[in-house]
Each structure stands twice: as structure tokens, then as C-alpha cells.
Amino acid sequence: MLSVFFCLSDPGWTSINRGVLICDECCSVHRSLGRHISIVKHLRHSGWPPSLLQMVQTLASNGANSIWEHSLLDPAQVQSGRRKPNPQDKVHPTKSEFIRAKYQMLAFVHKLPCRDDDGVTTKDLSKQLHSSVRTGSLETCLRLLSLGAQANFFHPEKGTTPLHVAAKAGQILQAELLVVYGADPGSPDINGRTPMDYARQAGHIELAERLVECQYELTDRLAFYLCGRRPDHKNGHYIIPQMADSLDLSELAKAAKKKLQALNNRLFEELAMDVYDEVDRRENDAVWLTTQNHSTLVTERSAVPFLPVNPEYSATRNQGRQKLARFNAREFATLIIDILSDAKRRQQGKGLSPTGETEREGETLNFEGNLGIDDDQHDYDSVASDEDTDSELTTQNNNNTMDSSDLSDGPITLQEYLEVKKALASSEAKVQQLMKVNNNLSEELRRLQKEITRMQTENSALRRGQQAGGAAGHGVGGPGGGGGTGGHWAVGGMRGGVGGFGPGGDPPVLSVPSTATPHSHPHRRERQAFSMYEPGAAPGPTAHGPPVLDSLTPRLQPLNTASVKEGRGEPEEGGGGGGEGGEPDPTLPCTEDVILKTEQVTKNIQELLRAAQEFKHDSFVPCSEKIHSAVTEMASLFPKRPALDAVHCSLRLLASSASRLQVECRKAAPSEPGAPAVDYQLLTQQVIQCAYDIAKAAKQLVTITTREKKQ
């Protein structure tokens, strides 16, 4: 059954981790997403472990596609108005945009109800997964994984992971699905037993052997790419191919090999994973070139000339991954052989010989034309010569266009690539250092929060004293703000004065009353608010703007400020409103309704700020849509033509800022290959500026509504 119904032809490809079958047109888009989004494999021309192929076919036939199109299948939940493309629609941009929304943004996946603690939701899902893998319901487990269940979840009471449970139950297809989603076949239970031990103890020998293969999937795949063979894992876990012309290594190659051997285990694993992804890309390219109609399908937009960007990796690592495409056949084969040799050395705990070469015990190298030993008698196979692959690579390179100068300035050496890896390690060390600085800033923010609360208390006491002394009509404001009888006051800034917000002051604090009306629910008495105050900002015109998020360590931290008490608040910036003796505006909505909508806006802005703080740029679009929806609901409470100019100005600022926020957030969506790179630091500044304006407008509306209703 065809899972993606807008495909024009029969599905020849599959997305393994999504459990769907895809046609040639959709395959080109899936491959451009990257393996972290969609793991693509050809159904007939790629090598398949039987159980993995059966797992994919089972998911596809049992409607796995409905998991990724949940909201589109339920008419009651259709809100965005987006339709599924028709077979006649063009691949770019119609189908490609839909595929990105479906699999990259997960725009149509079932959304869980909001919970106070996201960690609890993930834990519950993971516990459900832990129980479900003992059954044969693959689609249930895929649905849980799509919602955020963790494949490596360690059950605190059971002392096992889901893979242990699947292995004990003999569920080989469930084990395949878990491994695809990152489950570790070698993870120990509370007693140190692995899933392989569970499978053997339960008599599931085939499953146990498959789990061993999964544990060595990376090195097996690299060896198979070079020599077409995999180890049987009963007599050894590694096959180290050897090229016929590798006896005469240049000094540059030897130096590069020593650098590779000097890498720590974490960097070595990252390098091996990157090479694995490049092997997958090259193998899929070879299948693509042999199965497609070159006159219609092989175009610049359907080709994948280098590994797509993975946003979870640093820019340095992504650049290094893309440079792997520039290795010619011999250079790439040399790198793979060095990785296989060093992987074996590291697992066996061997050191390096004085010459820097890997120690080898009882192994005989077989060089073509040198030692006439049959291939079956040793662990070394000859690799195809350069002539066998150069013609194919030349054809591919002629069709590939590189917009980045880093990818078009000549051949790359292994030494250069390892230098990139070292630069990555250096940048990550700086990240850790800056994260410590960020923690110090968080402590400073907490100290300032306490200071703000103390000043609010003093402000309240002073105001009560003034009212008792008959000084009605005069508020206590700082240089940046004024007062008015009955006005609600809040601390808007440290440098702008107590209760004021003016030139040189900090951005506004968005806060809501803690005791609103007799109809308030108990759980609404303590409401959180956030401040966009950044310590250390110099006074001046720029202090009105948002804090600048450093590209490595965002300083923006949500704060819990004291709520505005009944009879206290913050005056509307710039004046306006009823004032003493004025009549209340009957067209304004209930204060409690405005407060509730403001809470929703605040919650969504906090979610956006967390995404910016954690560099989750792919969350910008959904967060901006939530904010726009909350702003629309808040604006609908007010009349279309309010009597007060201040309300009109605040509503206009609220709506325009929310719309501008959506436009800015859409820039964070992944662009087509070859498009200009996104400056995420500048983009984040723009996003925070929009959020700042929304918070400012919402605060003004709460202030005005509260003051008018008090009159």
C-alpha cells in the first residue's frame, strides 16, 4: 500500500525511521533533509538485513503514514487550512514544503495536552514504550517514539531499557525499530546484562545474533562499502580491507594517521559517525544514478552533493561533514581503513607502537601482487581501484554545484579534515567555559529579582503612607514614569526608577495580579511573569531594546517576579487613560479575561525564549504561531474601535509585533541547498525584539484595563 498518496509512481524507496514507502520524486526531498530527519534506503537495490526490511514493510502496511498526518486526517482539527498535495503538483515548492512540514517540523503529528512539567510527559511516554515493546504492535511504539518517548529509557523500577524487554520477548521487529531510534544494543541492565544476554537466555538466538550485528553496524557498513564483505562476528568483529597501493604512504598521510590515532574517544566516534553518513550518501547516490531517468530526474535540485546540515551539530562539525564529499575514492578509502584499524585498536585497548603504527598481533597484510594468499584466508580484501569509481564520481561532481567557497577550492586532505575536528574540540571547550559564565549570570539575575521584590514592597508601603496622608493623585515614579490616582504600579526597571520605565530604563515586566476577582481559581493566585532585564547593559537608548543573545551563551533568562497586588500596578507608558475623576470605559473587557489571555501570551513567549536560549531554531515557527494565536485571542476581547487612544495604540503594537515575529521566525526554517546561510545570531535578536514589543503592548493593556475598571 502506498503510504504517501500524492506520489506519481510506485514506491521504490523507503524512509526507515518514518516507516513509509516513497517514490523517486519524494526520495530526492527526503535525502535533502538529512539522515537525522529521514533515513532513506532503496527497496530493491540496497543491502537489507531481512528483519529490518520486514519491520519497514510492516509499518508501511499498518498505516504508519497516519502518525505523521494525524491532524490532516481529522477534519475537526484542521485549523491551518493546509492541504495535502495532489499527484499533479510540482515537487518544488509544493511537495517539498509539505514533506518538510510533515517530517522535519512534525506539523501534523498528534500534540499532547500541555503539562506543567514536560519531563513527566516524556517519562510517561517512555514507560508506555517500555511496556509496549513486548507486543507485536509496531505502529503503537512508533507513535510513542514520534511523541517523544526515549528509546534508551532506563526504567527506574524495572532496571531495564525497552530493548531488554523486546529481546526477552523475542520481538525482533520491535528491536529493529528501537535501534533505528538510537537504542544501544550494548546497554546494561541494573545487573550488567545486555539485551543480547536476555535474548540468548530466552532462546532467541536469531535475535541475539542480530543485536550483535547492530552493535557493530558502523564498522560493518564501512568494511562492506570497501570490500563487499561483513564479519560473521563468531570469529571476529572486524574486517580491515587494504588497498593494493598503500605501501608507499606519503609523510602527509602518515602525519594525518597519527593525528587520527591521537583523537580522544568522543571525537573519534564523531568522526566515524560522520564517515558512516558519507558512506550512506555515496551508496544512495550510486543507486540513484543507476535507477533514474537522467533526462528528467537527475537535476541540481534532486542531487545531494554533500551531507545536509544537522542543526544539532556545531557549524564547524557540519562544515567538516560536508568536506567529506570532496575526498576522492582513494582518499576516502584510506580514511575508512584508518578508522577501522583504530576502532579495532581502541576496543582491544592496545596502545601505539613507537613508530605510531597500530599494533597488530598475528595478522598478515595481503597486498595485491605481493602475497598470493586467498581472500578467504585472511581479514583483508583489495579495494576497487580508482579507475573503477572515478568515472562515476566525475559524473556526479559535474552535476553538483557548490555555493560555498569552502567546498570548491580543490581537493581536501585527511590532515585538513582532522584539523577541523580539532577546531571543533576547541570551540566546544569555549562553549563549556561560556556556559559557566551563563550560570554566573543566572545567579546575578536571581539576586536582582530579590532586589526588585524588595523595592516593590517598599513602593507599596510608601504609597499606602501617601494615601493615608491625603496625598491622593500623586504616585511614586522614577525618572522614566509618572503616577496617577488608582494607577497600578510595578517595578519596570532598576535604572529607570521604582515603578517607572523611561529612557535608560529596562524593558517592561509583564506581570499579572495574584488576587484578581472572587471568581479566580485557586491555581491562578500565583502567576509567573518574566523580565527581559539583562544585567550589565549600559544605560542609554539601546537599553530600550532586547538583550543581545550571544551566539554561544544566551543570557536571556526567564524570571519569576512578584505579582502586582490589588490596587497596585504600572502606569501606561506615555500616559493616557482615565486618570482621577475620569469615567470608566464600559467598552473595555473584564480585567480577569485580559489577565488570563496575558498569561497565555506570557507562557508562549517564555517557550520561545527557551527555544532561543537552547538554539532550537526549528521551534521558532511553531512558537510564533502559538504567540500569534494567543495575541489574536487577546485582541478579540477589545472593541475594534476603542474609545481610548492608548488602547488603540497598544492593540496596534500587539498585532504588528506578532505578525512581524511570524515573518522573522519563518527565516529560521531550513532553506534549500545553495541558499544563503541564515545569520542565526541576528535572527535571534530580531525575534527577541518582537517578543519584547509584544510583552510591552500586553503589559500596557493589562495596566489600562485594570485602571479603568477601578475608577
For cell 538485513, the residue is 49
Question: What count of other Cβ atoms lies within 10 Å of the Cβ of residue 672?
Answer: 11
**709 or 379, which is more confident:** 709
Beta partners for residue 48, in sequence order: none
Q: How many CA atoms lie within 13 A of 388 on its CB side?
A: 7
- Angstrom distances, CA of residue 547 to CA of 203, 504, 696: 61, 14, 14
Supply the pTM of this predicted model: 0.53
Whole-number mean pLDDT of the chain? 74
pLDDT band at 525 (very low <50, low <70, confident <90, very high): very low
* pLDDT band of 38, cuts 50, 70, 90: very high
What are phi and psi for residue 217, nearest 5 degrees?
A: -60, -40
pLDDT (tens digit, 9 = 90+) per residue, 432-467?
Answer: 777 777 777 777 777 777 777 787 787 777 777 766
Percent of the chain with pLDDT over 90: 37
Q: Is 300 exposed, middle or buried (0-12, 13-18, 19+ CB in 10 A)?
A: exposed
- Exposed (0-12), middle (13-18) or buried (19+): which is 627, by Cβ within 10 Å? buried
What's the pLDDT band for 128 if we cut at 50, 70, 90?
Answer: very high
- Give yes or no for residue 533 having a pLDDT over 50: no
Query: Taking a C-beta distance cutoff of 8 angstroms, is the pair 195, 167 a contact?
Result: yes
Confidence of residue 682 (pLDDT cuts 50, 70, 90): confident
**Which of the given ranges, 199-213, 374-388, 450-464, has the highest pLDDT on average?**
199-213
Q: Which residues contact 699 (CB under 8 A, 6 or more apart)?
A: 508, 509, 510, 511, 570, 598
User: How confident is residue 390, by pLDDT bands cut at 50, 70 and 90?
Assistant: very low
Query: Please, where in the chain does CATH 1.20.120.330 lie?
Result: 591-708
Q: Identify which of 19-33, 169-183, 234-248 has the greatest average pLDDT.
A: 169-183
Assign 634 to helix, strand or coil.
helix
CA 377 to chain CA centroid, Å, is 47
For residue 323, pLDDT over 90 is answered with yes
DSSP for 159-210 reads ---HHHHHHHHT-HHHHHHHHHTT--TT---TTS--HHHHHHHTT-HHHHHH
CATH number of 591-708: 1.20.120.330
| DSSP state letter for 102 | I
Max avg pLDDT among 39-48, 515-524, 645-654: 39-48
Fill in the amino acid letter for 275. Answer: V
Query: Over the stretch 628-647, which tens digit does the pLDDT of each residue have?
Result: 999 999 999 988 888 888 88
Provide mean pLDDT across the span 237-266: 80
